[in-house]
Amino acid sequence: MMNRTRIEGFIYLAAFIACVPAANWLIGNIGSVCIPKGPCLIPVAPGPNGAITAPSGVLMIGAALVLRDLVQRRLGKGWSVVAIALGAALSAFIAPPALVIASMMAFLLSELADFAVYTPLQRRGLVRAVLLSSLAGLVVDSVVFLYLAFGSLDYLAGQIIGKAWMVLLSLPLMHWLRKRDQRLGLLPA
């Protein structure tokens, strides 16, 4: 029988894999505004000239950045890369090829940034590691995705803000998870 951390890891893995096609589907289908031959947009923050907007998949990707760290914590680095490939494969059924490729490349490159930050910090503090690695990953993911998918960085501020909201909202859960893991002796802090 699998232990508790492996079971949790596979739950995080499934959620992470689902985020990729969900985000790609949202970008083309749901938003407060849908630009012809462009993304559907959602507001992510107030701005000086109206709301700051981002492609609507932004919140799913923000969640994915956190889930990716949890997958690594429970299952190891290799599973994160497997999840990206599986998510891209599922996306191919619901999104245009250019969007799938942009998404996959953005995830892969942001994964490298995430590994560079999360891996050395995770043993010294889960919350700090998730926060800093997610911030590094969301910037890389945003730049690469927007450039490859739409050929511009017009929505960069919105992408960063939207993903940061999801990361910030996850921090209380990360704190609880770290405390629970310590209490149960599952993993180090």
Cα–Cα distance, 4 to 105 (Å, whole number): 32
pLDDT of residue 46: 95
Residue that is written with structure tokens 């932004």 in the block: 58
Q: Using CA atoms, how far apart are residues 36 and 46, in angstroms rounded to an integer? A: 24
| Residue 1 pLDDT greater than 50, yes or no | no
Question: What's the rounded Cα separation, in Å, for the pair 8 and 176?
Answer: 14
The answer for residues whose C-beta is within 8 angstroms of residue 66's C-beta and 6 or more apart is 130, 134, 166, 167, 170, 174
Which range is least confidently modeled, 93-97, 130-134, 145-149?
A: 93-97
Predicted local distance difference test score (pLDDT) of residue 77 = 82
Which residues, 6+ apart, have CB-to-CB distance to 44 below 8 Å? Answer: 51, 52, 53, 54, 58, 158, 161, 162, 165
pLDDT over threshold 70, residue 187: no
Q: What is the DSSP string of 78-138?
A: HHHHHHHHHHHHHHTTTS-HHHHHHHHHHHHHHHHHHHHHHHHHGGG-HHHHHHHHHHHHH
Cα–Cα distance, 97 to 154 (Å, whole number): 21
Q: What CA–CA distance (Å, rounded) separates 154 from 176?
A: 36
Number of Cβ within 10 Å of residue 164's Cβ equals: 20
Domains contained in the chain, CATH given: 4-184 (1.10.1760)
The Cα-based distances of 170 to 29, 59, 60, 70, 152 in angstroms read 26, 12, 12, 11, 29
Residue 54 — very low, low, confident or very high, per pLDDT cuts 50/70/90? very high
State pLDDT tens for residues 76-129.
Answer: 888 988 887 888 788 888 888 888 899 889 988 888 888 889 888 887 888 888
Largest CA distance in the chain: 56
Digit-coded pLDDT (tens) for 3-53: 888 999 999 999 999 998 899 899 999 999 999 988 999 999 998 888 999
CB atoms within 10 A of CB 154: 13
Tell me the β-bridge partners of 34: 40
Q: What angle (nearest 5°) sits at the alpha carbon of residue 11, between those of residues 99 and 15?
A: 20
pLDDT at 155 (0 to 100): 94
Mean pLDDT, residues 140-163 taken together: 94
